[in-house]
């Protein structure tokens, strides 16, 4: 009789049984005399993250006029002005449908994140035609850390995530700071400064059990259909990640006097009210920054809101998304003032994340300097669901491999060029990326340092 598989039950049991540990931040004593690499010669690790906000921008108030360096800062982009020299702004990079439908609030983000326009769309029901960029990057740079990636959503909805292997299954987001804290800094924490280190026998046994389950992969893959095969492949990807985590937990951490268990955050209110979402963003974001600094992960994804943004002001029942379609344009201002509130505040939240990353000193720079953070939205002008000239920014320099402080105009070329360039800057051997009309072999050479 064929064995019955219950993917959720297996994952729940394994995740529930997993011990947790914490690694080390990068200390000066680990570095060479110049502060640009470890004493062993290994470079300071590069991190990658995505930061998403829904319902786009007012193009005339967001995109700079001047191309190249020393670009002008428009009103909606004003909050990122302190980081102008550490950020690139991209205009004129489009979601090119190539005959596929414009799936409102879905095509734009999937085109940028997967290099492919999807065939089915909508938050919670949309599909990805290929793995999202963060998954590809985590495969390349994430295997040396406990978590291939960490995802957070700021409106209290775990299903709000733009990280997908393919199909309709997302890498679910953490929404509760306490849960995220305990996941990273839980009861299995090993003090790196302890005189003795004894691997937990239960961890060794668990690693053996996981390996034996992994051995059944070929038989299972041959017994299911194409849809289940994709799900099983994602399941075994999780198994591989857990095996790597357990392997790291069997190694004694190096001493680090500065690695102190952070204080557990207080419980926070959850929901799409702007003030609540912003507080969640800052508390969750700080935990992500600590996880990066302690090398618990090298890849992260932050969703400020849903694509059809459900953010709203305190006391209001009308969401940002509804406002973009129903609010009249102020004839004097030339834009929708209530909608624009959320556009401007979204940029303030992104600036807050940049501030947290830039505050962590690392070698001769900061955590932001050793990162690349892709920030984007699914629309240009949400009122019309426009997907030309998607708003895109990349912050950081990937440890000196990326030129910042530029405004680049793509002149109508696919937004997948940004993703291809990111992969090349991170050292991934990728010569082309994307599918159909979004396919490209042209990196944005202006931002690449050779």
What contacts 361, CB < 8 A, 6 or more positions away? none
* Residue where a domain stops, chosen among 227, 251, 275: 251
Q: Domain containing 425 — which CATH number? A: 3.40.720
| Domain match, 399 and 304 both | yes
| Domain match, 276 and 300 both | yes
| Domain match, 245 and 388 both | no
Phi-psi region of 378 (alpha: psi -120 to 50; beta: other; left: phi over 0): alpha
- What secondary structure letter does DSSP report for 35? S
Task: Provide the pLDDT for residue 186.
Answer: 78
| Domain match, 334 and 230 both | no
Per residue of the chain (450 residues), give pLDDT as tens: 444 433 233 333 333 444 333 333 454 544 555 555 554 445 678 999 999 999 999 999 999 999 999 999 999 999 999 999 999 999 999 999 999 999 999 999 999 999 999 998 765 678 899 999 999 999 999 877 878 999 999 999 999 999 998 777 899 999 999 999 999 887 655 554 445 666 666 655 555 555 655 566 667 777 777 767 766 676 666 666 656 655 655 655 443 333 446 789 999 999 999 999 999 999 999 999 988 888 888 999 999 999 999 999 999 999 999 999 999 999 999 999 999 999 999 999 999 999 999 998 888 899 999 999 999 999 999 999 999 999 999 999 999 999 999 999 999 999 999 999 999 999 999 999 999 999 999 999 999 997
Structure tokens at 29: 């004593």
Task: Provide the pLDDT for residue 256.
Answer: 31
| Domain match, 34 and 99 both | yes
Between the alpha carbon of residue 240 and those of residues 143, 147, 213, 442, the distances in Å are 10, 11, 11, 33
d(CA 405, CA 6): 50
Domain presence at residue 359 = yes
Residues pairing with 151 in the sheet: 301
This prediction has a pTM of 0.82
Residues 407/67, Cβ–Cβ less than 8 Å: yes
| Domain match, 230 and 350 both | no
- What secondary structure letter does DSSP report for 76? G
Strands 365-366 and 371-376: unpaired
Domain presence at residue 1 = no
| Domain match, 243 and 268 both | no
Residue 440: phi and psi, rounded to 5, are -150, 150
Domain presence at residue 157 = yes
| Domain match, 265 and 247 both | no
| Domain match, 357 and 212 both | no
Residues 403/385, Cβ–Cβ less than 8 Å: no
Structural domain including 203 reads 198-251
Where b means 16+ CB within 10 Å and e means fewer, 95-120 reads bbbeebeebbbbbbbbbbbbbbbbee
DSSP string, 98-160: TTS---TTTHHHHHHHHSS--SS-STTT--BSS--HHHHHHHHH-TTSSBS-EEEESSS-TT-
| Domain match, 41 and 179 both | yes
Structure tokens at 120: 């089915």
| Domain match, 181 and 94 both | yes
d(CA 153, CA 1): 42
Residues 139/289, Cβ–Cβ less than 8 Å: no
Helix (H, G, I), strand (E, B) or coil at 79: helix
| Domain match, 362 and 325 both | yes
Residues 133/286, Cβ–Cβ less than 8 Å: no
Q: How many domains does the chain have?
A: 2
Domain presence at residue 80 = yes
Structure tokens at 230: 């994709």
Domain presence at residue 193 = no
- What secondary structure letter does DSSP report for 4? P
Domain presence at residue 18 = yes
Domain presence at residue 30 = yes
């Amino acid at each position: 009789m064929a064995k019955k598989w219950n993917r959720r039950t297996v994952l729940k049991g394994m995740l529930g049984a997993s011990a947790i540990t914490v690694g080390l931040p990068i200390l000066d004593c680990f570095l060479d005399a110049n502060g640009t690499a470890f004493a062993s010669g290994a470079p300071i690790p590069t991190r990658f993250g995505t930061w998403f906000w829904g319902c786009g921008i007012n193009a005339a108030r967001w995109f700079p006029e001047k191309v190249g360096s020393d670009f002008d800062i428009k009103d909606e982009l004003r909050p990122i002005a302190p980081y102008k020299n550490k950020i690139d702004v991209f205009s004129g990079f489009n979601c090119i449908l190539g005959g596929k439908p414009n799936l409102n609030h879905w095509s734009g983000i999937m085109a940028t994140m997967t290099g492919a326009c999807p065939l089915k769309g909508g938050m919670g029901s949309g599909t990805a035609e290929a793995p999202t960029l963060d998954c590809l990057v985590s495969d390349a740079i994430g295997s040396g850390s406990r978590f291939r990636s960490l995802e957070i959503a700021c409106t209290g909805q775990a299903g709000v995530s733009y990280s997908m292997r393919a199909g309709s299954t997302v890498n679910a987001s953490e929404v509760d700071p306490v849960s995220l804290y305990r996941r990273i800094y839980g009861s299995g924490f090993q003090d790196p400064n302890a005189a003795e280190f004894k691997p937990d026998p239960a961890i060794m046994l668990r690693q053996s059990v996981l390996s034996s389950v992994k051995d059944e992969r070929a038989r299972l893959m041959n017994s299911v259909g194409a849809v289940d095969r994709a799900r099983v492949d994602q399941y075994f990807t999780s198994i591989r990640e857990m095996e790597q985590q357990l392997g790291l937990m069997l190694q004694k951490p190096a001493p680090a006097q500065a690695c102190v268990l952070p204080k557990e955050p207080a419980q926070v209110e959850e929901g799409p009210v702007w003030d609540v979402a912003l507080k969640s963003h800052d508390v969750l974001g700080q935990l992500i920054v600590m996880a990066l600094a302690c090398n618990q992960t090298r890849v992260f994804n932050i969703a400020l809101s849903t694509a059809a943004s459900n953010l709203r002001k305190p006391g209001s029942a009308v969401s940002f998304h509804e406002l973009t379609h129903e609010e009249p344009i102020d004839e004097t201002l030339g834009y929708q003032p209530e909608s624009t509130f959320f556009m401007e505040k979204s940029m303030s939240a992104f600036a807050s994340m940049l501030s947290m990353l830039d505050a962590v000193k690392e070698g001769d720079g900061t955590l932001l300097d050793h990162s690349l953070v892709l920030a984007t939205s699914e629309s240009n002008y949400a009122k019309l669901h426009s997907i030309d000239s998607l708003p895109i920014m990349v912050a950081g320099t990937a440890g000196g491999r990326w030129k910042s402080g530029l405004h680049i105009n793509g002149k109508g070329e696919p937004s997948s060029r940004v993703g291809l360039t990111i992969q090349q800057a991170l050292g991934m051997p990728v010569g082309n990326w994307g599918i159909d009309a979004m396919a490209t072999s042209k990196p944005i050479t202006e931002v690449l340092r050779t």
